[in-house]
């Protein structure tokens, strides 16, 4: 058993070494450059309307601040922020409405089902509301952006995603876990993990044209690719583009874009102040919550992903570390 285990550890080490060599080559050849964006470009009007989806269950402590922050830093008018809540969670509904104030750019959508359902089920409800608004007002969204209830967004995020989706079908921006001095061993390890994934692994995957898995936050999809996936899901009995039966529906959705022939991008861009255009978020600080989250990630990505998506067909997409889901 030790020899068997040692063999697979060796395979994993070779895999990691190959990724490191590719990243070093990209850095030495200047192909892994971080672009810059000006304040004017970051706050410029969008080329097409954007829909931002946030599923919220028992998030009354954070959702109001998240909504208020997003509406205050995003200067554009051509977007709608959809917050999905439940009728049996009035505290979250009240907090979301308080954070929104009288801003017309937000819609609080009450799920007809009692919570908690799955995050994917709530996102599908928001997708239905999005489609209803398109029919009601006679316009069509260009992009659909995903976020979690505790995310602190960057002012230039919408402009960067909007511009990138003019030539891509899916865009992932970096996620930056906030340092937690009181939880250096549990909460702090997320900073190391996402630095490895979003500063190296996904940079290599983007350069090789491999699938870019969605982290569930700071990611944008073109309206057309999302409609295509939703149509495929409904043909299989689903309710929308998000797989309610999957524990990591966001990760799977990013891979499905690539499987459907879509073009995916991972972008590292800095603003004029040299700050990374990324989403800041806090991750679990206690061991129990972290183990619960990591169990969901591992089961959803490694086991359900293998069962639902099968093996990749390109060598560049085999076995290399991917960014895992953001949020809780």
The arithmetic mean of pLDDT across residues 272-292, rounded, is 93
Rounded to whole angstroms, what are the CA distances from 280 to 19, 44, 54, 153, 283?
26, 22, 15, 6, 10
pLDDT given for residue 236 in this prediction: 84
The arithmetic mean of pLDDT across residues 240-265, rounded, is 89
| Domains in the chain, CATH or no CATH each | 30-317 (3.90.550.10)
Computed over every residue of the chain, the mean pLDDT equals 90
The arithmetic mean of pLDDT across residues 248-266, rounded, is 90
Q: Is 227's pLDDT higher than 90?
A: yes
The arithmetic mean of pLDDT across residues 92-114, rounded, is 95
Which residue has better confidence, 53 or 248?
Answer: 53
Report d(CA 222, CA 170) in Å as an integer: 6
Length of the chain: 328
Q: Are 152 and 279 in contact (CB under 8 A)?
A: yes
The arithmetic mean of pLDDT across residues 113-124, rounded, is 93
pLDDT given for residue 313 in this prediction: 58
pLDDT given for residue 315 in this prediction: 53
pLDDT given for residue 322 in this prediction: 44
* Cα 5 to chain centroid, rounded: 33
The arithmetic mean of pLDDT across residues 100-118, rounded, is 93
285: left (phi over 0), alpha (psi -120 to 50) or beta: alpha
Q: Is 286's pLDDT higher than 50?
A: yes
The arithmetic mean of pLDDT across residues 4-24, rounded, is 88
Report d(CA 129, CA 146) in Å as an integer: 15
Report d(CA 308, CA 314) in Å as an integer: 17
Q: Is 295's pLDDT higher than 70?
A: yes
pLDDT given for residue 316 in this prediction: 55
pLDDT given for residue 323 in this prediction: 41
Which residue has better confidence, 131 or 34?
Answer: 131
Report the percent of the chain where pLDDT is more than 90: 67
The arithmetic mean of pLDDT across residues 136-143, rounded, is 96
pLDDT in tens, 303-324: 887 777 766 656 555 554 444 4
Q: Is 328's pLDDT higher than 50?
A: no
pLDDT in tens, 31-65: 888 889 998 989 899 999 999 999 999 999 999 99
pLDDT given for residue 320 in this prediction: 43
The arithmetic mean of pLDDT across residues 85-110, rounded, is 95
Report the percent of the chain where pLDDT is more than 70: 94
- DSSP per-residue codes, 181-228: GGGTTTTTHHHHHHHHIIIIIHHHHHHHT------SSSEEEEHHHHHH
The arithmetic mean of pLDDT across residues 75-100, rounded, is 96
């Amino acid at each position: 058993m030790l020899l068997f285990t040692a063999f697979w550890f060796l395979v994993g080490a070779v895999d990691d070494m190959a990724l490191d060599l590719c990243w070093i080559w990209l850095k030495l050849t200047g192909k892994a450059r971080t672009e810059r964006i000006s304040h004017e470009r970051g706050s410029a009007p969008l080329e097409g309307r954007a829909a931002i989806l946030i599923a919220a269950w028992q998030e009354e402590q954070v959702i109001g601040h998240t909504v208020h922050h997003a509406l205050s830093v995003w200067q554009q008018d051509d977007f709608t922020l959809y917050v999905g809540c439940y009728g049996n969670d009035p505290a979250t509904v009240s907090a979301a409405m308080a954070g929104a104030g009288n801003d017309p750019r937000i819609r609080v959508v009450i799920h007809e089902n009692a919570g908690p359902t799955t995050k994917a089920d709530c996102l599908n409800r928001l997708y239905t509301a999005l489609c209803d608004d398109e029919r009601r007002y006679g316009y069509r969204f260009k992009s659909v952006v995903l976020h979690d209830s505790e995310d602190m967004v960057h002012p230039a995020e919408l402009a960067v995603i909007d511009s990138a989706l003019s030539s891509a079908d899916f865009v992932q921006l970096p996620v930056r876990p906030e340092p937690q001095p009181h939880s250096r061993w549990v909460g702090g390890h997320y900073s190391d993990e996402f630095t490895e994934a979003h500063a190296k692994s996904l940079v290599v995957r983007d350069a090789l044209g491999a699938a870019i898995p969605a982290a569930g936050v700071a990611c944008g999809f073109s309206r057309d690719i999302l409609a295509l996936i939703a149509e495929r899901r409904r043909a299989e009995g689903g309710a929308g583009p998000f797989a309610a039966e999957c524990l990591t529906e966001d990760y799977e959705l990013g891979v499905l874009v690539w499987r459907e022939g879509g073009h995916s991008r991972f972008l590292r861009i800095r603003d004029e102040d040299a700050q990374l255009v990324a989403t800041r978020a806090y991750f679990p600080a206690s061991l129990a919550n972290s183990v619960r989250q990591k169990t969901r990630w591992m089961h959803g990505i490694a086991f359900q992903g293998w069962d639902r998506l099968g093996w990749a067909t390109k060598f560049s997409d085999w076995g290399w570390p991917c960014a895992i889901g953001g949020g809780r």
